[in-house]
Amino acid sequence: SPSPALLGQTVTWTAAVTGGVPPFTYSWSGTNIPTSPAPNANPFSIVYSTIGQKTATVTVTDTDSVSANCPAGTVRINFDPDFEEF
């Protein structure tokens, strides 16, 4: 959220987990999301610096080492009409 978002606005990705044995660990990946190390917070927030469609997916692992991949989510980043370039 939010969707769509404006360039420079914080986007927050949230994984809703059902089942499994807590505690859970999270590993996020997708458009412009760092890979080394991958973010592990839930929810995870990012500010995109380019316009266009962005995706994110998360792998959730429970305490028994059972993992599941969430389908990719998408958000559209639009140009901020109030942005003033200097």
Model pLDDT, residue 82: 77
What are the structural domain ranges in the chain?
5-78
Question: 5-78 belongs to which CATH class?
Answer: mainly beta
Q: What are phi and psi of 62, to 5 degrees?
A: -95, 180
Residue holding tokens 């559209």? 76
Query: Cβ contacts of residue 33 below 8 Å, gap of 6+?
Result: 39, 46, 56
Model pLDDT, residue 3: 78
pTM recorded for the entire structure: 0.86
- Within the chain, which residues score under 70 in pLDDT? 83-86
Angle, CA of 23, 2 and 48, to the nearest 5°:
90
Residue 52 zone, left/alpha/beta (φ > 0; ψ -120 to 50; rest): left
